[in-house]
Amino acid sequence: MGRKRKAYSINIRDEVIRLYKSKRSLKQIEIVVFQNWYDSKNGCCEYCGLKSEESLILFYKYPVSTRGGRRGKRLELDRINPAIKNYGEDINNLALSCYWCNNAKTNYFTYEEFKVIGDKIKEIQQYRINKINSQDRLTKSIEANNL
Ligand SMILES: [Zn+2]
């Protein structure tokens, strides 16, 4: 039996390539270095811990929050120090971030400050994900039992 959630699963290799190609200046970094950097992040938003597949779930559930569907499907790259404009200049200046954290952090909060805020965002994101998942389980149960 195939999983209904197939659209939500992500291929890590595709995800790395997508992120790598999302910023031209990343070409200055070898993709293997970028891949290692990505692996060290465990595929999670560094601020709230959201995974890319969870981002997709929230994207579909809260479409009005995604700038007309242009943001939020996947994790994004945030510059820790926004004064460094070149993404390829220093890989340690990159943070893996969900759209919601990246959008809220802007250039105002520092990485350390936003980590504090991210802890609270995490609670809310996990609450929403759990709610969506339990609704899905209920729907499946109703369907399976022809209720
Ligand atoms: Zn986040």
Distance 133 CA to ligand 1 centre (A): 19
Is 7 part of any domain?
Answer: no
Number of domains in the chain: 1
Residue 8 — pLDDT band, cuts 50, 70, 90? low
Is 30 part of any domain?
Answer: yes
Is 133 part of any domain?
Answer: yes
Q: For 83-132, how does the pLDDT look when each residue is reduced to its tens digit (9 = 90+)?
A: 888 888 899 999 999 999 999 999 999 999 999 999 999 999 999 999 99
Over range 125-145, report the average pLDDT: 90
Distance 114 CA to ligand 1 centre (A): 10
Residue 58 — pLDDT band, cuts 50, 70, 90? very high
Distance 49 CA to ligand 1 centre (A): 6
pLDDT reported for residue 3: 47
Distance 130 CA to ligand 1 centre (A): 16
Whole-angstrom distance, CA of residue 3 vs CA of residue 47:
29
Distance 97 CA to ligand 1 centre (A): 5
Q: For 66-88, how does the pLDDT look when each residue is reduced to its tens digit (9 = 90+)?
A: 777 788 999 999 999 988 888 88
Is 67 part of any domain?
Answer: yes
Tell me if 55 sits within 8 A of 85, measured CB to CB: no
CATH number at residue 35: 3.30.40.220
Distance 112 CA to ligand 1 centre (A): 14
Distance 27 CA to ligand 1 centre (A): 25
Q: Exposure of 21 by Cβ count < 10 A (0-12 exposed, 13-18 middle, 19+ buried)? A: exposed
pLDDT reported for residue 7: 52
